[in-house]
Every structure is written in structure tokens, then in C-alpha cells.
Structure 1
Amino acid sequence: MHSLSASRRHSLAVAVTLSLLLLAGAQAQAADLLIYEAGQEGAGLSNAGAAALARDPSVLMSNPAGIAELKGTQLNVNAQLILGHYQFARDSNNQFDGNEGGNALKYLPGSSLFISHQIDNRSAIGFGMYGNFGLLADYDDDWAGRYFTQEATLIGVSFQPTIAHKFTDDLTIGIGPRLVYGYYRTEVAVNNSVLGLVDRPDGQLRYKDTDVAGGVNLGMLYQLGPRTKLGLAYTSKVTFEFEDKPELKHINNPLLNLALNRGNLDSLELDMSIPQTVLLSVAHELDGQWTLLGSLGWQDWSEFGQVGVSVDGDRISDSTTLDRGYKDSWNISAGAQYQYTPRLRWSFGVGYDSSMMDDEERTADNPAGEVYRLSTGFNYDLGDGLDVHAAYTFMWLGDMDIQQTKARTGQTLSGTYKDAYLHALGGGLTWRF
């Protein structure tokens, strides 16, 4: 990491690009980025027992060892839709004009596919394609926080081959090398006002890129007793390196144009990571109908908050690291499944995720906070090896205050995301051959 020399510090091209991209160029989402809900039956449990309960091949997403518990060949396909309410409301300390942005998270569709195959009584292989990382934030273009962000999308889709083996009657180990396709896009308004004296229409900066990165999922499943299983899973960090030339439109501030022409900016690189996680789960069969479930998890958001930035041009090359002040988070959940009839199984669960940031670190491009989850769902056996399932999760974030100040002008965006919440609807089919 190094800074610009004194002779180059006058170059506003770097200053403009960094000030925009560092604020709008880290991750954008409207809740925690890691999404437990991928349409699978377990989505009705608020992640309770996710690393210990193996009902279908989707278990490989949370614990690769789980597929060794599945008989024959199984195919699981799912779809989900996330709807949200993220409405900013300004307060008396707000210093920016513009509207309040509308609903920043309208909807986000998704799908997943999992397959497992039992090799013998001790070994199994599988494959999963799923998206459990990233959300969409989309404000009105002329909202009060437009100089911080207008639109941002970060999506990660994982492709995970998996193998699991029972080393003893009680201990199973699984591993899933993970290839993740990442897509990132951001838009932010550029203030064309000359020294605050001349009022001009805003310009706009756009930046988008894709990258492919790798990681690994590891899992252990242990039979504690005839009715109790313990699951422990780890997912490694996955680091994206997005690199492209920012697109600038309608920049008619003569000072900005002069600086941009001097800087001759060729590319800007943003490095950001999906955090490593640890999940401990337990599943206990109380009787022939009831299964009790619980989970405790850790997510390394402090590492995710370190965003690497590099700027390259004909005469300048600079790199730095932005510390967003994030902290590690914990999640806990409890739930149960009830076998109501031989064909119908009911799931329900509650969960809590601590916030990845303190209130003073909250920004418009990442209005995250603590999350309370309430979930339910069902699985129905249609016969001939075919099951259908559906699940619903309500996620409550409540009121989240924000006060974010522009370093150059000293103006402050101030207000509250009032009564923020998310709905996750999902369902799918499982075939057993």
C-alpha cells in the first residue's frame, strides 16, 4: 500500500474516482449478504440444524459431509424470491436535497440445483449450483444520497462438486471445492456544481465487472447417539478482484474534466471477499414425529470490510485499503420438524444474526443491521420418489439510523431506514432414484 507523491496529489482524477468508488464500490446489500434461504426445505428452519440435518442434496451447501446420509441418487431443484422494504426517511440533520429514494430493495429472484449419488454404503459424491451471497440496492436516481450510491448489485453464484466418506460408523467427513462467479455493478451521481457556486445537472459514474474465484467448503458429521447428530462446517474466504475502467457520463464541471484529462485513468480494481464462516449444528430425534434442531454460527465480516482499491493510469498508479469498520457477526437459531403424517412434514424455526457493524459505521450503500428471523415450511411426499416443498422466512431489521458525511464538502446524509424487513419465499422438488 502506498500513497500518491506530493507532485501528483493535485490530480483530482484519483481523488474523484476514489471518493466515489470507495464509498459506493464496496459491497451493497439490503441485509446480511450471506443468504441461508436458497429455496430448499431447510429454508423453513431459519438455518437451525443446517449442518446436521440431511434430508436432501441441498445439505452440501451447509455441510458437504451430509450427502453420505442420502440413499441412491437424488436431485433437488429450487427457486426463491426475496422481497423487501428498505425505505430511507430523512431527519432534521440531513443536508442533501433530493427525494428519499423509494424502496431500495424491490425483489431479487434466485434458483438452485443439487444432486447426490451414493457410491457405496460409506461414500457419496454430489454437485451444487446455488446463489447464497449478495443482494440488490436500487434507489431513485435523484434521491438525497445519490452522491454516495444510486444502484449497486453484488451477486455470487457457487458451483460446488462434493465428496463425502464415512470413516467410521459415527464419523463422516466431506469436502466441496467451490468455484464462485461474481458480478458487481455500481452507479453513483457526480456533483457538477463548480465550487458550490454554479448549479448544474448531475453527472454519473458507472462501474461493473465480473470475476471467478475459488474456495472450499469442509464439513464433519458425527453420530453422538442413536438419535443425535452433530455437524460442524467451515467455508473458506473467497476473494474477487474486479477490474475495469469506470464509465463517466455528462461530466461538465470544468475542474473535474481538467483533472480527469490529466489523470488519464485506465482502470480501477476493487478487491472484496466473501467471508469465511463456521457453523455448528445439532439434530435430535425426540421421537418418531419430532426432530429438534439448533445452530450457532460465526461469520468473518471484519475481513470483508477490508476493501482493496487500485488505480492505474499512464502517469499514476496507486493502491490502498479501505477499512469499513466492520466486525465479525454471530448467528443462533432453533427449530423443529414435525412428521404430521407419513407423507407430510412441517418445519419451523427462529433465528438471530448480530450486526456486522456499529450504528456509526452504517452507510447508504450498505444499510445493514441485526436480523431476526421467523421461518416455516412443509415437505410433502407425492409418491414414486418425488417430494414437493415450500418455505417462507420473515426477516426483521427494524429502524436503522444513518449519518454519512462527504469528506470534500462536509455535507451529511442523515435519516433512518424505518421498519426494514425482508420476505423470502421458496419452493422446489426432490426426486429420488
Structure 2
Amino acid sequence: MKYSNKAVLAAAIAAASTQVMANGLALNEQSASSAGSAYAGRASTAANASTLYGNPAGMSRLDRAEVSGGLAFIDASTDISDAEGQLAPGLPVSGTNDGDMVPFTTIPFGYYVSPINDKLHAGIGVYAPFGVESDYEDSFQGRYQGVTSMVQVVTIQPTISYAFNDSVSVGFGPTINHISGELTSKVPGAAFAQINPAFVNAADSDVEIEGNDIAYGFNLGTLIAVNDRLDWGLTYHSKMDFSLEGDTTVSGSPLGTVLDGEYDAELDITMPESVDTSVSFQATDNLDLYMGATWTRWSRLEGIEVENSGVNPLLQAQFGTITEELNWEDTWSFAVGGAYQLNPKWVVRAGYATDKSPTSDADRTVRIPVSDRDIYTLGAGWSPTADLTFDAAYAYINEEKGRVSQDTYSADFENSAHGLALQATYRF
């Protein structure tokens, strides 16, 4: 029998956060003003400088220079039930299933946009398009599939937009994307039984993996005023090709320093491209309605292979080449929302989104325990002066129950989360 360590850079990058408003491993927390309407009109509305991410063509709709930034706060919870674990027939795995593995998370974002002339705008943004942070208890019954996952992708996007006329504008921004990952898991003593049968009852070993890289991409958008009341927008977020380099560290193995060591790890992975489209309709002088859809090419993540070099020959079977099948599928998400202008100072928003999971019961893992989800949002904007606006949004995320079935562990996972986004915009 072969025991493979799944706690590799591959798992870190493919790990999915149960706490964010986008499914898979994507983050949606780049704008509090858009969050209030469940991002339904993100590609067709330019409320502030955060349009640099939602649709860079929208910068042409901003009359003055402005800076906009904020924070999103996520509080997630997971219920784990019907858990089972075994290394092999007759070798059960005991452990806990607390489910409290997602720490309270903060996601920052910031943008600056300025008109150059009547047709040309320029700006720059910093945001997080992908990320995850989870930490199971050390005694977790599924610890051989994963314990800790931390992945951060931070993007810097210089951007320009050009307005051909009052109706049509385009925007383009190259992206500089830095990815870093750190994760841990346990390896059972039985994994070393081929070296010495007595190791079948040995204590767990620890594995820690770290890696990072920089990749380049771009965002491209167009925004069209179909008529005085209807706007249509389309945004393309390109793929990102990462070649991570890092370290795989093994410690606490049955033979101690004989088997323990640090090995060089390499991983090639592509973050998928996505297409976001939406329409914004001014139903009345005070009411705007939004409808949007997003397609993401998750099928790029069929599986991942990590190469570790310098591995002790006795550990080659466990840590030489590590593969993990994902079999993810492309997904569509859909959203509807609206904004109502109560008076010149206050606007209120609401929205609903449905977001399909890229994985299924057949392929779901403890690092990717996401299922189809529904998202309900409320938001508000307050402008005490014409130069200053504060936006806030609340989201409740509810997922369907999904089954995790892996080599040594299976259980039902049911996730939910509360999110709060705050943003300030200053115009000058």
C-alpha cells in the first residue's frame, strides 16, 4: 500500500476558502459598493475607483480624481458530520472534527483613478483575486489530507481607459500577481511500513510546504451606454501562469534525522481566466437594477503535480513526485441586485447570487470542501459631502451540504459565513 502526502504546494494553491463570496478559490472582496448588490452590476456600473477591477472601462465615467479603499471581514463556520477514517481495512483513524478551521479573515483593497483629459483616464489598484486560510486542529481526523492551508495572491494593476464617445469606452490593465503559500499536514507511521513493518504504529510525522512566485496577466473591459437608462459591460480577467519554487520539510519521522529533511519543491499551475458581464438599468430616477453573470474556467485545474528534488531514497515513494487529481469543471455564477437613492446623501442596496461549485462529491477534498452556494447581501452608501462617500455591505453565504471522500477520510461538510465590507472614497 502507498500513502501519498497530499499536503503539498499543489493543495495549497488549489485549496478553496469556505468564507468568500466567490466559489472555488476566487475572491470577490474588491469593493464594498459592489458587494451590497451581490456584485450583480460590477461590469456595468462605475460608482467609484473600484471599477478599475470590476471593469477598467468604467474609469471613463469618473469626473474627478479619486482614491477608494477598504477592508472586508469574513467570519465563517463549518459543520462536519458522519466522519469516517481508515488507513486500510482494520487500520481505523481516530480524531476530532471540530470544523472551526477558518480563522476570522481580513481582506484589504485600494484604488486610485485620475482623468488625464476628456477621453483618457489612468489609475492603479491593489487587491486580492485569490486566497485561502484554514487551520484544522492537530487532532483532526482528516489530518493526513490536510491541516493548515494559507495561500495569498496579491495583485497590482496599473490601468488606462479611453472613451471613444459618450457611449463607448474601453479599459486595459496589466496585472502583476504575487502568490505565496504555506501549508502543513500529517503523515501516518504506516506510510513508512515498507521501510520497517514496525513503523505501522509509529507516531504521525509533520510536513510543511512553502513556496512563492510572480506571474503576469491583464484585465480588459468595455462599457457601453445602450441608451440613457441602460448600460452593458463586459470584463475579461486573464489567466495567470505560476511556476512556484519552495521547500518541502519533513520532521518527526520514525527514524528521526535519518529520514527528516528539507527538499526543493517545484510546481507549475495556472490560475483560470474569467469573463464577467452585467447590465445596469435605471428603472426610475431613484432606482437602479442590476443583473450579472460570471464564467470561470476552473477546468484548467484537472490535476496538479509537484516535483520534490533531493529526496532521501527511502522517502522517494512518498515525497518524490506528488500528484493530486482535482477534476474541476467550468462554472457560471449569476446575480441580481438593485440600488435605491433615498436622498442626495443616502443610497441602499440589496442583492442575491447563486454560485456553483467547481467540484463534486466525487472529487471534493478537506482543503476544498466547497459546494453550491447562495449569497444574500445588503448595503448602503453615505455621502456627507460631494467629495466623500462611505460604503458598507453585509453578506450571508449559505452552502449546500457536500461529501468529502478521500483515501483515508470521508465526511459531510456544510459551510456558511457572514461578511462585512467597508469602503471610503475621496474625490478631489
Structure 2 unmatched ranges of 5 or more: 87-91
**1:417 matches 2:405:** no
Quote the offset at 1:201 in angstroms: 2.2
Alignment of 1:24-63 (within 5 A): 24-31=11-18, 32=23, 33-63=25-55
- The residue aligned with 2:326 is 324
User: Is residue 349 from structure 1 mapped to residue 351 from structure 2 by the alignment?
Assistant: yes
1:73·1:118 contact (CA, 8 Å) conserved in 2?
Answer: yes
Matched residue type, 1:302: S
Query: SS in structure 2 opposite 1:67?
Result: helix
Deviates more, 1:70-79 or 1:90-99: 90-99
CA contact (8 A) 2:184 2:206 kept: yes
Deviation at 1:93, TM superposition (A): 7.2
Per-residue deviation, 1:274: 2.1
Partner of 2:281: 284
- CA offsets per residue over residues 190-245 of structure 1, 9 Å max, x none? 21245375523211000112211111000000111111110001001112222122
Equivalent in the alignment of 2:362: 360
| Residue 57 of structure 2 corresponds to residue 65 of structure 1 | yes
Query: Which residue matches 2:89?
Result: none
Shift of 1:38: 2.8
- Structure 1's unaligned 5+ residue stretches are 1-11, 406-411
Give secondary structure in 1 for the equivalent of 2:180.
strand
Q: 1:19 to 1:342 in 2, by over 3 A?
A: closer
User: Given the two structures, how large is their TM-score scaled by the length of structure 2?
Assistant: 0.89
Given that 1:57 and 1:67 are in contact with CA atoms closer than 8 Å, whether structure 2 keeps it comes out as yes
Shift of 1:96: 2.2
User: Residue 177 and residue 57 in structure 1: after superposition, are their counterparts in 2 closer, same or farther (change >3 A)?
Assistant: same
**Residues 59 and 19 from structure 1, CA distance in 2 versus in 1: closer, same or farther, beyond 3 angstroms?**
closer
Letter in structure 2 aligned against 1:202: D
* Conservation of the 8 A alpha-carbon contact between 2:85 and 2:93: no
Determine if contact 2:5/2:145 at 8 Å carries over to the other structure: no
Cα distance in 1 for partners of 2:252, 2:240 equals 36
Distance in 2 (CA, whole Å) between partners of 1:382 and 1:22 is: 47
Cα distance change, pair 22–403 in 1 and its aligned pair in 2 (3 A): farther
Q: Which moved more, 1:268-277 or 1:214-223?
A: 268-277
Please give the per-residue CA displacement for 1:68-124, whole angstroms capped at 9, x wherever unaligned: 100110110101111101232234676421111431212111111111101122111
- Contact residue 23 and residue 365 of structure 1 kept, 8 A: no
Say whether the 8 Å CA contact 1:39–1:111 is kept in structure 2: no
The 3 A distance-change label for structure 1 pair 20 and 57 is closer
The one-letter code sitting in structure 2 at the alignment partner of 1:203 is S
CA distance 1:113–1:23, change in 2 (3 Å): closer
Provide the TM-score with structure 1 as the length reference.
0.88
The answer to whether the 8 A contact 1:149-1:189 is kept is: yes
1:21 aligns with 2:18: no
- Aligned partner of 1:173 in structure 2 is 170
Task: Give the alignment's Cα RMSD to 1 decimal.
Answer: 2.4
User: Which residue does 1:112 correspond to in 2?
Assistant: 109
Tell me the number of residue pairs that the alignment of Structure 1 and Structure 2 aligns.
408
Q: Does 1:158 align with 2:158?
A: no
